[in-house]
Amino acid sequence: MATATSPSHSPFHAVDLIRWKCDGGELSDAQIDWLIAAYTGDEIAEEQMSAFAMAVRFCGLSRRELESWTRAMINSGERLDFSGLSRPTVDKHSTGGVGDKITLPLAPLVAACGVAVPQLSGRGLGHTGGTLDKLESIPGWRASLTNEEMLRQLEDVGAVVCAAGPGLVPADKKLYALRDVTGTVESIPLIASSIMSKKIAEGAGALVLDVKVGSGAFMKTQDSARELAKTMVDLGRADGMTTVALLTDMSVPLGLTAGNALEVAESVEVLNGGGPPDVIELTIALAREMVAAVGRDDHDPADRLASGAAMDIWRSMIKAQGGDPDADLPVARETDVITAERDGILRSLDALAVGEAAWRLGAGRARKEHAVQSGAGVQLHAKPGAQVRAGQPLITLHTDTPERFAGARVALATAYEIGDSAPEEQPLILDRVT
């Protein structure tokens, strides 16, 4: 702990708070409230907040500071209120991965169990896909709803997936963009407060977190993922929100597709009673956690999936936001197939490389203002453990711009290994954090 004297006058000065945090000092609630409010109100220069964020990355925040920081972020904007709904509300957040389309079948499945699911989602950046980008591949579907439209859809349909309005945690919008360009994204306190300020402000009664672990995830090790999960669970509970987290594997892509329309099609397969086993497993596991969190586990999500009830909700959910659930999805104009070079067993398939290939094909964006190709992406024909034959298709690349194939092939050049023995099986769900 620093021995410097904490600044106590008000208004405070950003430089004093930066120095204090750099020396390992602990900020008061009043100092944190002022810092967040002043930054949101453009009273603090971007370079000053950059310096403070870097100080947090290296010196951290105490639990009290983190709770105060998160509360100040929430108080920078509006807080949604779902208390008038006729059913309990529960939300889900994933820290992001390759092929992670789980929100699409999950939201209607949980709604089919009698629970309202307000899912405010974002767009993709880099190798992880955004839920809104996926849904926008459905003709007519719109991401932007007013609060009144969101509430009405939750009451009438039971689930909504849409963009967060500008009034929700504006401090995070500014700070998120700043962290992205200043090398301070990796700070667990800043990650946790960014996620949880938005989720708490959304106003759901409970939250289930899907914290990804592995090469295709932000957290590469179970220890770091568990630390992030525990930090977020504690923040949720400190605010009175029932919160639980699952640690799930992201060393291999989830499902058999990575790309917007490709992932929508795979999600519809799941809702129709098919689809890849890992997508089904994780969807049902998260759904069971969500309904249990609000005391509505009298319906088993697996039964509601098998009965077609979740598909009915999906169709209603898409129609309510202007989409046509029966419309053909976009298909890329060009494809390129990567084949197995020998007989054997597929031993590994690196999630990060697959995500990077999908990004290079046009499924993702390097900057937030860039457009995405709805039909672009990667389709997998085998997962680790599968027997393959020489010449058999392993991966199909999809894009409207064939000059992108070369870059995608470079990304995938060392992404997989074919050997003579089966790999060790890795469970999909690695841990549960409460």
Catalytic positions, written as ranges: 93, 172, 179, 194, 198
Cα separation, 432 vs 208, in Å, equals 10
Of residues 392, 413, 379, 380, the one with CA closest to residue 343? 392
Close Cβ partners of 179 (under 8 Å, ≥ 6 residues apart): 53, 185, 187, 190, 194
Cβ neighbours of 41 (radius 10 Å): 11
The residues with which 160 forms a beta bridge, in sequence order, are 118
33 Cα distance to chain centroid: 27
- 433 phi/psi in degrees, rounded to 5: -115, 125
Q: Is 316 exposed, middle or buried (0-12, 13-18, 19+ CB in 10 A)?
A: middle
Let me know how long the chain is: 434
Helix axes of 103-111 and 260-271: crossing angle, nearest 10 degrees: 30
With 0-12 / 13-18 / 19 or more C-beta atoms within 10 angstroms meaning exposed / middle / buried, residue 335 is middle
